[in-house]
Amino acid sequence: MAPKALNFKDRLVLFLASGLFLGLIPFAPGTFGSLLGIPLHWLFSHLPIFLGICSLGFVILISVWISSRAELLLGNKDPSQIVIDEVVGMAVALAGAPIEPSLIIVAFMFFRFFDIWKPFPIRYIDKSFPGGWGIVLDDVAAGVMANLAWRLWDLEVISHAW
């Protein structure tokens, strides 16, 4: 029996879940997906802070739904093609950051470090939450840790400049 053709909504879900097809890159799809979080941060940084935070929260919730649906469509748990979680995780890592290339690079490196290493509580979240919640929330947690890390790094750099 031939596989069922995907409707437009399911194709759109896979397009978004894969980070505009970045998740289909055969090597380091999560790293490439994380890069897409930078323009998302740029968009949110032009909003008033409250609206930017609400927008990021809304995108995180939509990402949970998209990830859940994409996981079902792809037929396996947390497939590497789903990188929308890295996109929002990177946006969380950059939340409140100025648009400054050196800081964005540092935040990116911290985010990838925490996303790959998965220290507590990231690994716990990844293993404990089902479907899209587990796919997205562990990257949100990695983003929070990366955000705190670049802020501490930035304070250290500033203190040495004086």
Give the tens place of pLDDT for each residue, 58-105: 999 999 999 999 999 999 999 999 999 999 999 999 999 999 999 999
Angle between helices 101-117 and 131-161 (to 10 degrees): 130
pLDDT at 162 over 60: no
The b-or-e profile of 47-60 (16+ CB within 10 A means b, else e) is eeeeebeeebeebb
Taking the CA atoms of 92, 93, 97 and 102 in sequence, report the sign of the dihedral they define.
Answer: negative
d(CA 106, CA 5): 43
pTM value is: 0.92
Structure confidence at residue 49 (pLDDT)? 92
